[in-house]
Structure 1
Amino acid sequence: MTAAITALPHRAAAFVAALAFALTCAAALPATAQGFETEARAAYVVDHGTGQVLLAHNADVPLPPASMSKLMTLLMTFEALQEGRLTLETRLPVSEHAMSFGGSTMFLNTSDRPTVEDLIRGVIIVSGNDASVALAEALSPDGTEEGFARIATERARELGMNQTTIRNGSGWPTAGHVMSMRDLGILAEEIITAHPEYYDYFAETEFDYENRSPANRFNRNPLLGMGIGADGLKTGHTQEAGYGLVGSAMQGGRRITFVITGLPSAAARAREAERITSWALRQFVEREVVEAGTEMARAPVFMGAAADVGLAPASDLALLLPAVGEPALSAEVSYISPVIAPVAEGAELGTLRVTLGEGQDAVEHVIPLVATGTVAEGGMLTRLGTAARAVLYELIGPPPVPITAGG
């Protein structure tokens, strides 16, 4: 754990010193989850409440997503419902193109007019390629799957999914159709948080459109029904991609979302999904690391009745930390120096920046620092002394600044 203090110049001089202070946290493993080994080719785990990334393994590598990319088709369907461009009762046509898909299907034909709700269930529960393409064509500005792919890729960029290129609405193996595990995590979080009214569909376990496919009516998500809080989202499998799952689970008010891919079998996918869920929900605890009112530093006061004033966080800060180990935690105090008198108690004078983790997956929290007391303007002697020091400063330069360090 490291800590530092930076005092930004009020005029021209810069004052920088190291501050050693203890954050009130228990020892914890680094947020990069050292020591946790996954069998997946790539994996990503995030905690919803804190936004902390608990695991990132090849998370930014664009890979074939298989049917997990159907989540993009679903998100855009939910957005169209929210905007009133579709309703759950809207009946949609089934094109020859949509009907032509093999693999997992609802067994639609061109005479069918399924409702949007039928198609949503067909995508989520039976992973219907035909249902996905029917929705994609309905959402497309030109009625084609290619047109949908263009707007879906644009929407992905708006969400920050920078390693995603959509080529179709179903995840059918197509050159250049790729998504990273982090991008799929972003997509899942958007569905869960922005469209909770439709999220219950992901927990449904059976759907058989007009009794056409009794054998293909079951949801493939292996975690549903295990009693571990799992309630979504989508499996995927192709020969190139291997077996994958975008999953989410909630226990005790905490929700995590994970993405895994490249497993060799459905059984391996189920084992790894359960293992990651258990680890993410049980091996991390929320701890208070900053307490409001605790003095973190003292700032020099210019022309004040006191030489300095204490700085303390305006609010508490709790972080999600692994249960054992040493935290990858750093903190920095910043303020304008010197502070000009008078100073009112509670006045905001700086910031405390606390960072958990390292690199792209680091989570940063910024808390205002406020004065712990009142400092009035100094009297005549204070002003004369300040003027004298200013003259000496101009003649012989600034006094040396002591540097101390600690951890």
Structure 2
Amino acid sequence: MKKLIAASLLAFSLATPLQAATPVFETPAPIAYMIDLSSGTVLFAKDADRRMPPASMAKMMTVYVAFDLIKQGKIRLDQPMEVSPETWKKWHSQGSTMFLGVGEKPTVSDLLKGIVTLSGNDACVVLAEGIAGNEQAFTVLMNQQAKKLGLANSNFGTSNGWPDEGRTYVTARDLATLAAATIREFPDLYKQYYSITSYSWGKTLGAGADITQQNRDPLLGKVAGADGLKTGHTDEAGYGFTGSAEQNGRRLIMVVAGLDTYNGRAEESVKFMKWGFGAWSAQKVVAKGRTVGEANVQGGGSSTVALVAPRDLAVAVPAGTSPALQGRIVYQGPLQAPIKAGDHVADLVITTGDGMVQTLPLAAANDVGEAGFFRRAWLGFWGLFGL
């Protein structure tokens, strides 16, 4: 039976630590959350697990589903999807819109721009229908992905977050998890679509001029490195935003929700993200590829496997400090062969001087195949004697 195994490490203690209190942030937002993806550290959480209507932030899941299907080759960016008369009638003037016309055949790429940049409710439904046949079938895909990502407190009843008597709900923590998965799993598509500042689609009545709308992301152009993600607003939900920015290799994801005004959302979002970068800094603890320790292996050609840092590992600390750090390797062991090099098989759990615990991934340094016949026999022989 596997058990939790922990090995103490003292290599990260510093001789002359500089301590500081955990940075404090005050916000009128009823719900707020921030995570540092570089370290996996939650920098701030205020009612982060309260279920709430996501409004247009639900569109992040619609985009995630589309990105995943594109990556699998099941749909193409240049694939056209027709606007049905029924969909146009219901959505052409219902909330935010891309101004799609009846019978138009925008491509998947066009619709993604209409969703991310313009927050088009019509674009979401056309994309959902083009992918799954109807919106209800598409929400099944959304909820399958939510389950896969571990969004335990989220459910999607529409493709665009339009109020649906409480069937659609999320939490700030789940939204941040969804944002992180989008950024990590589809980096090229994320960069291609989420930071577009404006987009034109449709024509004005009479003059027939292009209709250009600006991206509502309040961080774009105001916070260095900002590149996504999605705003949301309904009377029930208030004003919310899930955003991300990267500075000097350090990426933060933030969520605010339940604010009273458009301007209040913009001000709080900018203030929150600037606090995250200004009040905290990254302290490197392990360089990429460095061996940190080893883990026991059962049923393998080797009885142990070396554990290495899969990337430069850093912890978040109050800016201007160098707190004492202590670490331990934790894993469910013994690990079962076969194991592939690069598999996430253990964690490095770091405790800072102020008691904050941060968990960083460790990977197998090499492949460990299953034991051959003679080694299995040898291990079985010694197992008889409890050795």
| RMSD across aligned positions (CA) | 3.5
Task: Evaluate the alpha carbon distance shift between residue 122 and residue 222 of structure 1 in structure 2; reply closer, same or farther with a 3 A threshold.
Answer: same
Tell me which residue corresponds to 1:145. 135
Tell me which residue corresponds to 2:199. 207
C-alpha contact (below 8 Å) 2:153/2:174 kept by paired residues: yes
| Equivalent-residue separation in structure 2 for 1:194 and 1:264 (angstroms) | 33
What TM-score comes out, normalization by structure 2 length?
0.72
From 37, 44, 47, the counterpart of 1:48: 37
Residue 158 of structure 1, CA deviation: 0.5
Q: Which deviates the most, 147-156 or 321-330?
A: 321-330
From 239, 243, 246, the counterpart of 1:247: 243
> Equivalences for 1:63-78 in 2 at 5 Å?
63-78=52-67
Task: Evaluate the alpha carbon distance shift between residue 7 and residue 37 of structure 1 in structure 2; reply closer, same or farther with a 3 A threshold.
Answer: closer
Residue 89 of structure 1 pairs with residue 81 of structure 2: no
Post-superposition Cα deviations, 1:304-328, rounded to whole Å, max 9, x if no partner, equal xxxxxxxxx9989642201268979
> Equivalences for 1:219-234 in 2 at 5 Å?
219-234=215-230
From 313, 319, 334, the counterpart of 1:323: 319
From 161, 170, 174, the counterpart of 1:171: 161
| Equivalent-residue separation in structure 1 for 2:348 and 2:235 (angstroms) | 50
Secondary structure of the residue aligned to 2:104 is coil
C-alpha contact (below 8 Å) 2:57/2:231 kept by paired residues: yes
From 145, 149, 159, the counterpart of 1:159: 149
Task: Evaluate the alpha carbon distance shift between residue 50 and residue 356 of structure 1 in structure 2; reply closer, same or farther with a 3 A threshold.
Answer: same
| Equivalent-residue separation in structure 2 for 1:28 and 1:270 (angstroms) | 30
Task: Evaluate the alpha carbon distance shift between residue 107 and residue 332 of structure 1 in structure 2; reply closer, same or farther with a 3 A threshold.
Answer: closer
> Equivalences for 1:262-273 in 2 at 5 Å?
262-273=258-269
Q: Which deviates the most, 232-241 or 94-103?
A: 94-103
Tell me which residue corresponds to 2:383. none
Residue 151 of structure 1, CA deviation: 2.0
Task: Evaluate the alpha carbon distance shift between residue 318 and residue 198 of structure 1 in structure 2; reply closer, same or farther with a 3 A threshold.
Answer: closer
Task: Evaluate the alpha carbon distance shift between residue 78 and residue 318 of structure 1 in structure 2; reply closer, same or farther with a 3 A threshold.
Answer: closer
Residue 165 of structure 1, CA deviation: 0.3
Task: Evaluate the alpha carbon distance shift between residue 214 and residue 266 of structure 1 in structure 2; reply closer, same or farther with a 3 A threshold.
Answer: farther
C-alpha contact (below 8 Å) 2:29/2:257 kept by paired residues: yes
C-alpha contact (below 8 Å) 1:105/1:128 kept by paired residues: yes
Task: Evaluate the alpha carbon distance shift between residue 328 and residue 259 of structure 1 in structure 2; reply closer, same or farther with a 3 A threshold.
Answer: farther
C-alpha contact (below 8 Å) 1:27/1:324 kept by paired residues: no
C-alpha contact (below 8 Å) 1:88/1:117 kept by paired residues: yes
> Equivalences for 1:375-394 in 2 at 5 Å?
none
From 104, 109, 113, the counterpart of 1:117: 109
Q: Which amino acid aligns with 1:138?
A: G
C-alpha contact (below 8 Å) 1:29/1:328 kept by paired residues: no
Number of residue pairs the alignment of both structures matches: 314
Task: Evaluate the alpha carbon distance shift between residue 95 and residue 324 of structure 1 in structure 2; reply closer, same or farther with a 3 A threshold.
Answer: same
Task: Evaluate the alpha carbon distance shift between residue 358 and residue 161 of structure 1 in structure 2; reply closer, same or farther with a 3 A threshold.
Answer: farther
Residue 221 of structure 1, CA deviation: 1.0
Secondary structure of the residue aligned to 1:166 is coil
| Equivalent-residue separation in structure 1 for 2:195 and 2:218 (angstroms) | 11
| Equivalent-residue separation in structure 2 for 1:357 and 1:114 (angstroms) | 55
Q: Which amino acid aligns with 2:238?
A: G
| Equivalent-residue separation in structure 1 for 2:362 and 2:188 (angstroms) | 34
C-alpha contact (below 8 Å) 2:131/2:138 kept by paired residues: yes
| Equivalent-residue separation in structure 2 for 1:250 and 1:227 (angstroms) | 9
Tell me which residue corresponds to 2:337. none
Residue 48 of structure 1, CA deviation: 1.6
| Equivalent-residue separation in structure 1 for 2:250 and 2:183 (angstroms) | 13
Q: Which amino acid aligns with 1:87?
A: R
Residue 333 of structure 1, CA deviation: 8.4
Higher Cα Rg, which structure: 1
C-alpha contact (below 8 Å) 1:231/1:248 kept by paired residues: yes
What TM-score comes out, normalization by structure 1 length?
0.68
| Equivalent-residue separation in structure 1 for 2:69 and 2:167 (angstroms) | 26
| Equivalent-residue separation in structure 1 for 2:329 and 2:104 (angstroms) | 64
C-alpha contact (below 8 Å) 1:119/1:131 kept by paired residues: yes
C-alpha contact (below 8 Å) 1:232/1:247 kept by paired residues: yes
